[in-house]
């Protein structure tokens, strides 16, 4: 690690460590990801993919790549240090106090801008969660950790391998179905719900129950302080059929988000990114004209739907056969991953108390 001074460890995981480092010739601070390289050729190649993909992602709402190198059996990825922590930490620090809606929409718009950028490059993130959304002191939101990302061969291609963090994994992956960038939209919806409630959208006291809840897609409504439009937005992102979920471009065309695009992008690059996004969202908005609906009608519709879902939930019971079916539809790697993470990641008992 010539040229860098390690200041402290800022994170640890199955991949290795995340370090805060200082560049010796400039005194600038960076985040450095230290990854243990597997002995197999295929494993080493997969580890290098993160650096390759991150190097291609140049956007104000994506953690900036500086360089990567290998030394003593490790891969080191040097990137921008986000001094505001991550969204998971931010949510925990709230201690039950809800975020204001305008703050949530500002953060969410920036997340959508970052996700829109990677999807335009045919990249699936595949591990979007609050812990991988980073903040800076000046209010910038950045998507990071591309360790599970996948480059698709074409815009219409699908992926099949199980990856991700169970709380944020969409139903099509649990059911062992091919998936595309709409899986990232589901995960993005999980974060939006989490920002509104300070809780995961799907919670259970066992991983089997968690999978069933995700596949059902039943949610508790948002706290009453949030708008009907926000509730409707989450509902669209949690459509069980991936093709019915909005794209990142469509999300940005929503009136509440479209007005924030210029505000969320730095002035010096609004020409490079903002005008393109604004034009895309404008086209998206005009391509699917809808009748104007007042907020009272939206609220009534949402209340009716919530009542219907609640009735369906009360009438729906799952037998051992149903559980066995879920097991068969989930890939072996998915079940193995869940079992590995059971103790350190889920911590269901403490979460559900």
CATH value of 87-290+319-352 in 1.10.510.10, 1.10.3720.10, 1.20.210.10, 3.40.640.10: 1.10.510.10
Domains in the chain: boundaries: 4-80, 87-290+319-352
121-134 in b/e burial notation, b at 16+ Cβ within 10 A?
ebbbbbbbbbbbbb
Determine the pLDDT at residue 353: 39
d(CA 43, CA 112): 31
Question: How many Å apart are CA 171 and CA 156, to the nearest integer?
Answer: 20
**Active-site residue list:** 127
The answer to whether 281 touches 261, Cβ cutoff 8 Å, is yes
With contact defined as beta carbons under 8 Å apart, do 141 and 148 qualify?
A: no
- The reported pTM is 0.78
Question: CA–CA separation, 327 vs 292, rounded Å?
Answer: 44
Q: Which two tokens stand for residue 283?
A: 């086209």
- What percent helix, strand, coil does the chain show, rounded to 5? 50, 15, 35
Task: Please give the pLDDT value at position 324.
Answer: 52
Check residue 280 and give its pLDDT: 62
33 is in an annotated binding site: yes
Are 35 and 68 in contact, with CB atoms under 8 Å apart?
no
Candidates 3.40.980.10, 3.30.200.20, 3.40.50.150, 3.40.50.300; correct CATH number of 4-80?
Answer: 3.30.200.20
Going residue by residue through the chain, which has 353 residues, state the pLDDT in tens, using 9 for 90 and above: 789 999 999 988 877 899 999 999 888 999 999 999 988 887 788 888 889 999 999 999 999 999 999 998 999 999 999 999 999 999 999 999 999 999 999 999 999 999 999 999 999 999 999 999 999 999 899 999 998 898 886 666 666 665 668 899 999 988 888 888 999 999 999 999 999 999 999 988 888 889 999 998 888 999 999 999 999 999 999 999 999 999 999 999 888 888 888 777 776 566 555 555 656 666 655 554 444 445 455 444 444 444 433 333 333 344 445 545 554 555 444 455 445 444 434 443 343 33
CA-CA distances (angstroms) from residue 272 to 66, 266, 268, 283, 353? 21, 10, 9, 18, 48
What pLDDT is recorded for position 44?
A: 84
pLDDT the model gives residue 346: 41
């Amino acid at each position: 690690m010539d040229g860098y001074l390690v200041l402290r460890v800022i994170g640890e995981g199955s991949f290795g460590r995340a370090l805060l480092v200082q560049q010796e010739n400039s005194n600038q601070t960076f985040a450095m990801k230290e990854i243990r390289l597997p002995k197999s050729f295929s494993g080493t190649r997969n580890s290098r993919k993160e650096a390759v993909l991150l190097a291609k992602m140049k956007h104000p709402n994506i953690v900036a790549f500086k360089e990567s190198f290998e030394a003593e059996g490790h891969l080191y990825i040097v990137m921008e240090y986000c001094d505001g922590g991550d969204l998971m930490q931010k949510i925990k620090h709230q201690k039950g106090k809800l975020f204001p809606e305008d703050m949530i929409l500002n953060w969410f718009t920036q997340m959508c801008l970052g996700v829109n950028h990677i999807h335009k490059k045919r990249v699936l993130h595949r591990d979007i969660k609050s812990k991988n959304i980073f903040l800076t002191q000046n209010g910038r939101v950045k998507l990071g950790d591309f360790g599970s990302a996948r480059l698709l061969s074409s815009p219409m291609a699908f992926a099949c391998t199980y990856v991700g963090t169970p709380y944020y994994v969409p139903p099509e992956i649990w059911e062992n179905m091919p998936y595309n960038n709409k899986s990232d939209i589901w995960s993005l919806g999980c974060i939006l719900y989490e920002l509104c409630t300070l809780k995961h959208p799907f919670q259970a006291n066992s991983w089997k129950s968690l999978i069933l809840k995700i596949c059902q897609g039943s949610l508790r409504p948002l706290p009453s302080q949030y708008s009907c439009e926000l509730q409707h937005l989450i509902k669209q992102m949690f459509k069980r059929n991936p093709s019915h979920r909005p794209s990142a471009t469509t999300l940005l065309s929503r009136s509440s988000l479209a007005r924030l695009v210029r505000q969320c992008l730095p002035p010096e690059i609004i020409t490079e990114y903002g005008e393109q996004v604004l034009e895309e969202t404008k086209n998206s908005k005009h391509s699917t004209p809808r009748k104007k609906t007042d907020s009272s009608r939206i609220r009534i519709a949402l209340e009716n739907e919530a009542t219907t879902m609640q009735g369906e939930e009360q009438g729906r019971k799952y037998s051992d056969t149903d559980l066995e079916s879920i097991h068969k539809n989930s890939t072996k790697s998915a079940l193995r991953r869940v079992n590995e993470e059971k103790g350190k990641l889920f911590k269901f008992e403490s979460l559900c108390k």
